[in-house]
Amino acid sequence: MKHITVILALIIGSSAISAVSEAAVVTLKNVLTVVGDDVTFGDVFNGADDLNSYVIATSPAPGKTITFKATSLAFVARKHGLEWTPTRQMQRVTVLRRGQRIPEQDITQELQIALATELQTDQFEIVLTSRNMNVQVGLDEFPMIAVESLSYNLSKEFFNAIVVAPADGNNPRRYKISGKIYQQVMVPITAHLLRAGQKIDETDIDYKLIRRSKVSRNVALELDDILGKSPRRSIRTGGLINLNNLGEPVTVPKGKILSITLRNGGIALSITGKALENGAEGDVIRVENIVSRKVVQAQIINEGEARIITPQQRFAIAQ
Q: Residue 131: its pLDDT value, please?
A: 85
Question: How many CB atoms within 10 Å of residue 45?
Answer: 22
Residue 317 or residue 42, greater confidence: 42
Model confidence, pTM: 0.66
Q: For the residues 132-143, what does the mean pLDDT come to? A: 91
Q: Residue 2: its pLDDT value, please?
A: 38
Q: Residue 12: its pLDDT value, please?
A: 36
Q: Does the pLDDT at position 319 exceed 70?
A: no
Average pLDDT of the residues of the chain: 88
DSSP 3-state of 311: helix
Exposed e or buried b per residue across 51-81, where buried means at least 16 C-beta atoms within 10 angstroms of its C-beta: beeeebbebbebbeebebebeebbebbeeee
Residue 237 or residue 18, greater confidence: 237
pLDDT > 90: what percent of the chain?
Answer: 73
Q: Can you say whether the dihedral through the CA atoms of 111, 113, 118, 124 is positive or negative?
A: positive
Q: Does the pLDDT at position 16 exceed 60?
A: no
Q: For the residues 212-220, what does the mean pLDDT come to? A: 93
Q: Residue 22: its pLDDT value, please?
A: 66
Q: Residue 81: its pLDDT value, please?
A: 94
CA dist 261 and 259 (Å) reads 6
Radius of gyration of the chain (CA): 42
Backbone torsion region of residue 275, taken as left when φ is above 0, otherwise alpha when ψ lies between -120 and 50, otherwise beta? beta
Q: H helices of the chain, where?
A: 2-22, 41-44, 70-79, 104-119, 311-317
Find the farthest-apart pair of alpha carbons in the chain and give their distance in angstroms, rounded: 157
Q: Tell me the domain boundaries of the chain.
A: 2-97, 104-184, 189-246, 257-317
Q: Does the pLDDT at position 315 exceed 90?
A: no
pLDDT in tens, 29-74: 999 999 999 999 999 999 999 999 999 999 999 999 999 999 999 9
DSSP 3-state of 117: helix
pLDDT category, 153, cuts 50, 70, 90? very high
Topology annotation, domain 257-317: SH3 type barrels. (2.30.30)
Q: Does the pLDDT at position 18 exceed 70?
A: no
C-alpha closest to that of 195 among 144, 159, 154, 230: 230
pLDDT in tens, 244-282: 999 888 889 899 999 998 877 777 788 899 999 988 888
Residue 239 or residue 309, greater confidence: 239
Q: What is the DSSP letter of 252?
A: B
Burial class, 50, CB count within 10 angstroms (exposed 0-12 / middle 13-18 / buried 19+): exposed
